[in-house]
Amino acid sequence: MAKRLSVIDADRCVGCQSCMFACTRRTAQGGLEESRIHIRSDGGFRKGFVVIVCRACADPPCARVCPTDALVPREGGGVRFHTAKCIGCRNCVEACPFGAVLWDASQDKPRICVYCGYCANYCPYNVIALEEIDPADDQASLNV
C-alpha cells in the first residue's frame, strides 16, 4: 500500500519549520535547499501557517504535464521522479494547485517528495503524519 504525508491539522502548526530542516537533513546536510515541504505564514504570523506538501494525488497533474516522463504516477497515488529525464521546463510547478512542486534553483529541477515521512518525526505538534493512502478516499476514487 502506498503511503503519503498527510496534513492532520494545519491549525496546530507553529511555523517552526523543523520539518523543512528535517527534509534537507535526510540527505545529511544542514540548511533548506533540499526540502520538499514548505511552511509559510498565511499572510503574516498572526494568521497562522500553511503547510505545503505533496498530497500524492491519484491522478497527479504534475505527471500529466511532464513532457519527458520524468514524473510518472506511482501506484496507489503520487509520483516518482527520474532526474535524468527532467529538462527543467517547470510545467510541473505550474500544474500543482498547492504549489507543492518546489524548485531547486541550483539544479534547475523540481524537488519531489519521496513519501518517506522523515519530516513527520520532527513535527513537535502532530501537524503532519505519514499515512497509508486509503483507496476509499473520495479523491483516490477519481483514478479511473
Name the site residues for another protein (rule: CB under 8 A). Answer: 14-18, 21, 24-25, 27-34, 38-41, 43-46, 48-49, 105, 122, 124-125
- Least Å from the CB of residue 66 to another protein: 23
What SS3 class is residue 44? coil
Closer residue to another protein, CB minimum distance, 35 or 58: 35
Closer residue to another protein, CB minimum distance, 2 or 21: 21
Phi, psi (degrees; rounded to nearest 5) at 121 = -65, -20
- Least Å from the CB of residue 40 to another protein: 3
What SS3 class is residue 49? strand
> Would you list the DSSP string of 80-107?
EE-GGG-----HHHHH-TT---EEETTT
- Least Å from the CB of residue 63 to another protein: 25
Closer residue to another protein, CB minimum distance, 11 or 138: 11
Residue 110, H or E segment: strand 109-111
The size of the chain, in residues, is: 144
Residue 144, H or E segment: none
Closer residue to another protein, CB minimum distance, 109 or 143: 109
- Least Å from the CB of residue 24 to another protein: 6
